[in-house]
Every structure is written in C-alpha cells, then in structure tokens.
Chains A and B, each alone.
Chain A
C-alpha cells in the first residue's frame, strides 16, 4: 500500500513538472524579447556608477543609447579618455567631442568673509538648517557649509574648506547633478569648463546692506557690466549675470574693478588659495 502511494505521488509530481516545463519552454519561445548582446557587453565597459550625468537613468540605458547610435561614448563623463576610446573601438563608432563640465558654487561667502547672524544647532544638514529661519547665516542666499553636497557626491570630488565652503575638484567632478539637486540654496550650477568668468554670489540685496552681510557679495554696482564687452554681463535684480552665449567676448577686464571681488576668473578649481591650505593640511 505504502509502495503504491510513493509511486503515485512520484508519477503525479513528475507529470506536473513535465507539463509546466513544456509550458515554460513554449512561453520562452513565444514571448522572448531579443536584446542586442552588444548592450550587455558595452555596459560591462562602462563604469557602472549609474550616476545619471549622461542624461540617461543609468549605465544600462546609456549602453542601449550607444548601441542604437543615439549617444556618443564621450557622453559619459566618468570614463577617462582611454576607456572612451575602448568603448568607441568596441562599437566601431566615433568617440565624439568630450565637453567637460564641472559643478561651480555661486557663493564665496566662507566663514572668514560672511557674517553669521545666529547659530544653528539642530540636525547637521544644510536642508534641515535652511528650514529654520534660513539657517542663521546673515546672507539668506549663501552657503550654509554643512556639507550636504560633499556627502551627496559619489565621486569624492567635493571637500569642505576650513572656511566652510565646498571645493569641487574639477578633475574628479563628473557633472552628475547630485550636488545641484541637494543644495537647499540652489548654489551649484553645471558649467562647461571653458566658461571662466563667474559671479560667485546670488544675493539679491543691493548696495552696502549686501556688503554688511558678506564682504564678497555682489552689490549690484554694475561696474563689471560697463567694463565688459557690450551684452556680456547684464544686471538682473541687483545681481550681475554673465550671458554665456557670448562667452568668447569674456576677458579679465570684467573682473578688474569689482569692488568686492564677487566676479572672478576661474581656471581649474574655485577658491585656489583655500585649496592650497587644504593640501597642506592633508600633508
């Protein structure tokens, strides 16, 4: 009796398994979605950080775009030139023109130049501080220095200086947009590295009240707009705004007479003197 029960259960289970197996095999034939094998191969050549700097949701989507010819290998800002060449060679396409962009901070108000009106003591994050009376810094637009951007950066490209400003290392920055999104004061912008003329201030307060809050604030005096070529710098709402469509007109003339040094000429990293002090600290 027990022998036949074993047999019946083994046979019925085996039968069911076989039937489902056939069904799955048939479904696999019928419903198969063909994917270009080059997509997975290409993805293996990509850095796999899924940072989104290329404008696609991740490395797989970028690989799909590459294989479909909608993207160029140079669109990935994380890869070095050698890796880009590898991908281009594998797919047999042109690597494309690399357009290096970096995150720039539109504030130079470190603790040495900008006044602190009150002290924030709560949860240590810029977003949390900004929700309490703007964070306590005298300038309502300025960097709070609690390093949300440095924490958000996946590439270790942002370090806080001793005056509480984030310093972006241009060679490490992949322009992935994470710091732009996390900053509660919207102080980061992604800019092509050849745009060297920069107004490091977002304060909409004008004149001496602005300077009372921060020694390097843009007071809206308009000297830079007068000194620069026509149309390069506009004064908008008490703030100098560089018109980057005319970037080829930019010269050092625009920055020379700025009374607060709010407009600067940036080659490489911002805040070079603080960068130096950081290095010496590290050694």
Chain B
C-alpha cells in the first residue's frame, strides 16, 4: 500500500537543527503589548468584535470569522484594547490589527471555554468548535483547519497523512511537539478521523528525528490505527505533494489538491492544536515557536502568545548577536525576511531564524551557464532556467501561460543549487506577486 519513500529531485541543505533539537519547550513572560492582525490565515479577514478601550480577558473572542474560509481570533493576553489600527504585518504591509495593552500584573488565568469532551459532539459541532477555536494550519500557510476537514461530498477521503517531516533547516517546532506532546498528536488524529469518517492514518517523520519516531511509536494507543513511517531526509520532503508521493505513491494532478487523490495532509503541530483546544478548553492563543540561528544568543523552543512582537521574542532568547544580519520568519528556504522588529508572531509562524552577516550576505550574481542543476533540483519538474530568464525580462504572462508558473511552490531548491547565484525562486515569487496584483490567479 505504501510508496517507495521516494520523490524525485530535491536538495540536501545543511540541517542545523542541533541548535534547538534537544532544548525543551519553555514559556516566556508576557510582553507589554500584543498585536493581532485580522488577516492571519488564508481566506477572508476576521471581523473585530471589540472596540477601543474594551477590557479583554485571555482567551476572549475578539474577532469573528469573516466567512466560511475564515476563523475567529482570540485575545492571547488579558488587557485593554488600545486601538484597531494599521500595524506592520509579516508580509511587509501595514494591515489592520487589534492592539492590546497587556495588564502588567495580571495572573493571566486561562478560563476554559470550549466544551472539553469532544467524544460527545457530532461532526458538525466538532467542525464548528474547531472554527470557533481559531484553528489554522500551523506549518506556515495558515489554511483554516475546519475547511481542510470538510472536503466536498464527491471527494472520497481514505487517508489522513500527518506531516512530521519538518524538512526546513533549523526549525524544530514539530520535532519538539512530537517529543513532548505525543498524546496530543494522537488525540488530534482521533478527532480528525472521526470528522472525516476514516480509520487509518500515517505519520511521516524524517529519519533525522529518531527520538520523535521512537516516542511517537511507543505512545500510539492500541485501538488506534496509526502507522509511523520514517522517511528519507531530503528537502522538500514536507511539501504535501512530495509527501503524498513518497508515502502513498500517489500523484496530485497539476493545479489539484491532496483531496483529489483521497488524502488530507495535516502538519503535526496543527493536529496537536486540535487536541489542545479540547484538552484545555482554550482557543488557539499561543503556539510553539523555534527561535534559532547563528545570530541569536540563546536559541530556544518557546511557547509564545500569538501576537507577540518579534522584538520581544528575540529579547526572550537573549537578544541578537553583534553580527546578526537577517531575520527570517519560518524556515530559511522559504520564509520571508523581515524588515521590521514590530511585526507580530502569527498563528502560522513556525519559527524565527536569525542569520549572521556571513550567512545572510547575498553572493554576486552571474549569467546563467545553462548547467541544468536547477532542472535536477526542481521537485515539480519545471524548467527554472527558462523561467528565470523570462522573469528577468519581466515576461510574467509567458511564465504563467506556457511554463506552469502556478505549479511552482517557491521551495527554493533551484536558487539553492544555482552556481551563478541567480535568485530564481525570488524571481518566481515576484512574478506571482505581480500577476496576482493584476488579478491573475497563480
């Protein structure tokens, strides 16, 4: 039934996970201010329910879902709403956000809200609780969980695939989640299986996390059909289409979704979050975050309130070293560089990587020598060298029309292997952004 643990192409960047792989998850003191952008997930922005001057308690719903593909937002600390105004967003824009001045000496007591016993709930009630709990995919894209768990009736789902690969270098968020909260992952899987009406799940974990593989295997309840599958260490093993190919040997059609081949893929941290809201009764107000890299004094795995500013997070890790030069939210292969320390941590932020000057400085770019390394690296079989030359000439429409630009997931393999240091995936990202601003769906 399973594939050959193999997808073609890809790259092997240095893992650099040892900085935080064995560091236990710790909480941090509450910051003095929390910024919660209304746009934290894919889909419609949330609609604020509070106004300037309102007092909110930790866990209070402060914004409701703005549609089906949208989720609620909750106050991640007790305090007063300072205002709803434009604040820096990790995507580089100034975007409307609810700003909360945190009470200085509050006990920040969690007061349970969501019905804790999920077993008694119907599927519709479970999905509603998940949407009200503000759950989104926590691996980066932040797609609302309840939407992923409600496939159209004509799509038959036969498999839940849990993504524990964490193929991005540096990050150890999912790794520590599996090591420290294996039960949550299992309970979350149970809830997903109930919602989807299936009985089989597979957790794919890269072989560079032997402790996580062992703990997950040892903790599987006897009545739960979950297989833990060790996978080759290779980037981008954790991209859902690559994972489906490697684990199930099924190929998602171009432009299709995993559900087209009967699979729902969820990141382990998102699954643990489902279990967490039912276990603690608190909505999604905090997340596990790896803060790491050579530019940070004390690399750590933290539980941070969502909306904590980058500045406060970095200070909680001893601050930046003198030669710190570039801050990336997410992993170094795909994460966007940040230009402002006041941007908040969002629900989908899986890590903060700080690179030092030697690592961050871009190397000089040379003309393409047509060596073809990028073709051998591209996991979705595009022609990056041709796309790159079109991108340099701003021929974006031809990239989209004739060269399958929309298949590119900006994994960065082509840029990584290019001996001429051409910023290929950056050019593709620019092409996508420009086309999107013109109304083309890429």
Are the C-beta atoms of B86 and A134 separated by less than 8 Å? no
List residues of chain B with CB within 8 A of the CB of A128: 423, 426-427, 430
Q: Could you list 15 further interchain pairs (A-B, Cβ under 8 angstroms) beyond the known A135-B92, A205-B86?
A: A118-B337, A123-B423, A123-B426, A127-B430, A127-B434, A128-B423, A128-B426, A132-B336, A132-B337, A132-B339, A140-B93, A140-B94, A182-B394, A204-B86, A205-B94
- Interface size, B (range): 20 to 34
CB-CB contacts below 8 Å: A202-217 with B: 204-205
Are the C-beta atoms of B430 and A131 separated by less than 8 Å? yes
Are the C-beta atoms of A133 and B339 separated by less than 8 Å? yes
User: CB of A65 within 8 A of chain B?
Assistant: no
What is the minimal beta-carbon distance from B334 to any residue of chain A, in angstroms?
13
In angstroms, Cα B91 to Cα A133, docked, is 5
What is the minimal beta-carbon distance from B93 to any residue of chain A, in angstroms?
6
Interface residues of chain B, those whose CB is within 8 Å of chain A, are 86, 88, 90-94, 336-340, 361-362, 365, 394, 423, 426-427, 429-430, 433-434, 437
User: CB of A259 within 8 A of chain B?
Assistant: no
User: CB of A122 within 8 A of chain B?
Assistant: yes
What is the minimal beta-carbon distance from B88 to any residue of chain A, in angstroms?
8
Are the C-beta atoms of A131 and B429 separated by less than 8 Å? yes
Find the A residue at minimum CB distance from B336.
A133
**B339 contacts which of A117, A125, A127, A184 (Cβ < 8 Å)?**
A117
List residues of chain A with CB within 8 A of the CB of B427: 123, 128
Task: Determine chain B's interface SS by DSSP, over half rule.
Answer: loop
User: CB of A67 within 8 A of chain B?
Assistant: no
The 8 A-B pairs of least Cβ separation, nearest first, read: A134-B92, A118-B339, A133-B92, A133-B339, A136-B339, A131-B430, A140-B94, A131-B433
In angstroms, Cα B427 to Cα A135, docked, is 14
In angstroms, Cα B430 to Cα A229, docked, is 43
List residues of chain A with CB within 8 A of the CB of B338: 118, 133
Find the A residue at minimum CB distance from B340.
A117
What is the minimal beta-carbon distance from B330 to any residue of chain A, in angstroms?
12
- Which of A122, A131, A132, A135: most chain B CB closer than 10 A? A131
User: CB of A130 within 8 A of chain B?
Assistant: yes
List residues of chain B with CB within 8 A of the CB of A117: 339-340
List residues of chain B with CB within 8 A of the CB of A122: 362, 423, 426
In angstroms, Cα B394 to Cα A205, docked, is 31
What is the minimal beta-carbon distance from B119 to any residue of chain A, in angstroms?
45
In angstroms, Cα B340 to Cα A140, docked, is 11
Are the C-beta atoms of A130 and B86 separated by less than 8 Å? no
In angstroms, Cα B240 to Cα A32, docked, is 58
User: CB of A121 within 8 A of chain B?
Assistant: yes
Are the C-beta atoms of A140 and B423 separated by less than 8 Å? no
In angstroms, Cα B92 to Cα A132, docked, is 7
What is the minimal beta-carbon distance from B388 to any residue of chain A, in angstroms?
11
